Amino acid sequence: MFNSVSHAHLAQPTTLPDFDRPSGLPAFNSVEEAIAAYDGDDAIHVLYPQVIAAAAETFLSGFPGKVLYAVKANPHPAVLRILWSAGLRHFDVASIREIDLVQSVAPDADLFLMHPIKSRKTIAHAYAQGVRHMALDCQAELAKILDETQSADDLNLHIRLAVPSDGAAMPLAGKFGAEFNEAVDLLRTARPFAVKLGVCFHVGSQCMDTEAYARALGYVRQLADAAGVSIDSVDCGGGFPVAYPGMVPPAMGDYFATIREALAENGFADLEILGEPGRALCAEGGSTLTRVELRKGSDLYLNDGSYGSLFDAAQCSWKFPVRCVSRPTSEDQGIQAFRMFGPTCDSLDVMEGPFTLPADIDEGDWIEVQHLGAYGQALATDFNGFQSESTVAVMNRV
């Protein structure tokens, strides 16, 4: 599924002579041009290379440490190529396939296996492939790592801490992470086996509160003091937000400033600092073009949905920004609130919205659902025979 890039249904772009570099995708000036060139029947995934590169630049120049891209947010090879060519060199991977994928696209990438619970095969494969950074949150996982690497003496171990998800729209607490006393024990046990020992945490995805990072760093201070062992690195995880309708976060610079201050206050300024943004690097740089197959009153039946790239729109009722590509959306012409249904026969395949679109929208119209570059395109399945097989680069975003 990772490498399923196919351009089968895309005529060679006529307006641009070339494929986009570096993404390697067919390039169009606008989504209108991409739709005009398309003779397939499915939704189309759009990437905006310049938007992704700009997000990378924001992190590379502003985040006070190493920037790791959390590959699960969007593992499309084009996304990896865009980030690499923007200067990003570190990748947070979780599985054998993610390791192989990143190494096939960027052989010199520095990989961090930050999943706290890995299969033995994954650990062995990662180590054989040169991965020297691994996360863990319990003694049993430490034993697995030492077994599968023959107690290697060049491991960087990152102890994953449980921290609250209070400020996050997508809480991640409750699955991974050592509690205080466990973490103290684990830091002490792991210390002799690590060339570098660090801690990592995740404050929850789409974290709307800059202070969540400061609180987590204060907690790391208490923990390091209680353990009485030296730590070499602090990984602030992901969680950096983007703006969705009804969810407008503080500026990214405020997150970086808060983290920078908290690092200094807690005496971590000289340690190696890491961050693992996923959503913030690629959400705004991707969207889905979906076609209306039928209208029933204020319900639109589309060729993409919960089992495509609209999982969060359906299951979490997120209101992604939408615009009708094929008709003007303006108050003068009339607008209306719609509910949207995906193409599968499952009744969970519904996006309640409401989504504001032109009142006269109808069969054959195309809708661009924006900000799906993270956890949208990446979650799409081929359930019921519906899937998007076409990804294009669009150079100008509306």
Ligand X SMILES: *Cc1c(COP(=O)(O)O)cnc(C)c1O
Q: Name the site residues for ligand X (rule: CB under 6 A).
A: 70, 72-73, 92, 114, 202, 205, 237-240, 276-280, 374
Q: Which is nearer to ligand X, 198 or 277 (CB)?
A: 277
Phi and psi at residue 307, to the nearest 5° = -90, 0
Q: Which is nearer to ligand X, 244 or 386 (CB)?
A: 244
Q: Shortest Cβ contact with ligand X: which residue?
A: 238
Least distance (Å) between residue 92 CB and ligand X? 5
Least distance (Å) between residue 153 CB and ligand X? 25
Least distance (Å) between residue 121 CB and ligand X? 20
Least distance (Å) between residue 307 CB and ligand X? 21
Least distance (Å) between residue 201 CB and ligand X? 9
Q: Which is nearer to ligand X, 115 or 291 (CB)?
A: 115
Q: Which is nearer to ligand X, 277 or 353 (CB)?
A: 277
Q: Which is nearer to ligand X, 97 or 295 (CB)?
A: 97
Least distance (Å) between residue 374 CB and ligand X? 6
Q: Which is nearer to ligand X, 149 or 205 (CB)?
A: 205
Cα separation, 343 vs 306, in Å, equals: 9
Cα separation, 273 vs 271, in Å, equals: 6
